A = this chain, B = another copy of it.
Amino acid sequence: MTVREILDSHPQPSSLDRGVLLRCIEDCVECAAACTSCADASLGEKDLQELIHCIRVNLDCADLCEAAGRIVIRQTAPDLRVIRAAIEACAAACRSCGEECERHAAHHEHCRLCAETCRRCEQACNELLSTIG
């Protein structure tokens, strides 16, 4: 992603570990898109009635990944308490959405892919949290 290069030219990079930060950024952006896509694919499925909770948590997860993604992209003059809270919320949504999508993974490839993306994003959030202390 271009963000990777933009951060190299940032005048005031944050003190967070660069590699861990970049993975969290990319996984948040990726997971927001995957959850938006999985919610939409689920809305088009014949067994839609079985996927209502899946759609709900996909929508919530997309919103929190998008907010967290924007917040971890920003480097200038941060409040680490806000960054921490945003990543914790994103990780909680990824955990919930990953669990629910996993339940439908055998029947819907988009749920399997989305569960995988959620788990990866949850892990990237937790790694970044561990470096904030």
Residues of A that sit less than 8 Å from B by CB = 1-3, 5-12, 25, 29-30, 33-34, 36-38, 40-41, 43-46, 48-49, 52-53, 55-57, 59-64, 66-67, 69-71, 73-79, 81-86, 88-89, 91-93, 95-96, 100, 108-110, 113-114, 116-117
Report which of B36, B85, B113 forms a contact with A89, defined as CB distance below 8 A: B85
28 A-B pairs with C-beta separation under 8 A: A1-B34, A2-B113, A2-B117, A3-B37, A6-B37, A9-B41, A9-B110, A11-B44, A11-B46, A12-B44, A29-B29, A36-B70, A43-B55, A44-B52, A48-B48, A48-B49, A57-B79, A60-B71, A60-B74, A63-B70, A67-B89, A79-B100, A82-B93, A84-B92, A85-B89, A85-B92, A85-B93, A86-B93
Question: With contacts A29-B33, A53-B77 known, is A11 near B41, CB below 8 A?
Answer: yes
A70 cross-chain contacts in B, Cβ below 8 A: 36, 59-60, 62-63
**A82 and B74 within 8 A (CB):** no
A89 to B52 CA separation, bound complex (whole angstroms)? 25
Q: Please tell me if the beta carbons of B60 and A82 are within 8 angstroms of each other in the complex.
A: yes
Q: Please give the distance in Å from A118's CB to the nearest CB on chain B.
A: 10
The 3 A-B residue pairs whose C-beta atoms are closest, nearest first, are A9-B109, A85-B92, A12-B44
